[in-house]
Amino acid sequence: MIRFGFLAIATLFFSASASAEGLTAKQARAFVAGKLFSYECFDGTTGVGRINNDGSAAGTIRITGKDPTRYVRLPVNTLYESGEQICATLKGLPFTPCFNLTKTSEFSFRGAVSGMGFMYCDFSRGGRPTVTKRTRAPKTE
């Protein structure tokens, strides 16, 4: 489940589709890095997050819109430029996913894992970060 969450966050932030203005990896980094985006995906997954210029990321994800909202962090250099694409190094995956980013407006983009345009997410700049509260189990005596 955690591996899926990491893949989902990486997929959500650096992805592509066939419409609008395609961006190079450097343009994508400049457009996205350090900015807060909310997102909604084809399967109902939603969240809010930020990609940092060092390739790390942090944010929330609610898989399929039904699961509890979770906070996820990706370490430095998880996301990196490889030629004209953005790729991710994620433990537990048998492949290295790469992504393209397509700008749909000055404040939004749509994305999908390269070669899988049917798996897309729409991102809009802004959003409200959600903090998930950790609770302790009640003490039993």
In SS3 terms, 80-135 reads as: EEECCEEEECCCCCCCCCEECEEEEECCEEEEEECCCCCCEEEEEECCCCCCCCCC
Give the rounded percent of residues in the chain with a pLDDT score beyond 90: 37
76 pLDDT exceeds 50?
Answer: yes
pLDDT, greater one: 42 or 135: 42
In this prediction, residue 92 carries a pLDDT of 85
Range of the domain at 96: 2-125
Mean pLDDT of the chain: 79
Helix (H) or strand (E) holding 63: none
Task: Determine, yes or no, domain membership for 99.
Answer: yes
Average of per-residue pLDDT across 118-122 = 82
Query: Is 129:73 a contact under the CB 8 Å cutoff?
Result: no
9 pLDDT exceeds 60?
Answer: no
Helix (H) or strand (E) holding 16: none
Task: Determine, yes or no, domain membership for 6.
Answer: yes
User: Which CATH number belongs to the domain containing residue 74 in this structure?
Assistant: 2.40.128
101-105 vs 21-23, strand pairing mode: antiparallel
131 pLDDT exceeds 50?
Answer: no
Average of per-residue pLDDT across 104-121 = 83
Task: Determine, yes or no, domain membership for 12.
Answer: yes
Task: Determine, yes or no, domain membership for 45.
Answer: yes
130 pLDDT exceeds 60?
Answer: no
Task: Determine, yes or no, domain membership for 60.
Answer: yes
pLDDT digit string, tens, across residues 17-38 = 334 688 888 888 899 999 999 9
The number of domains in the chain is 1
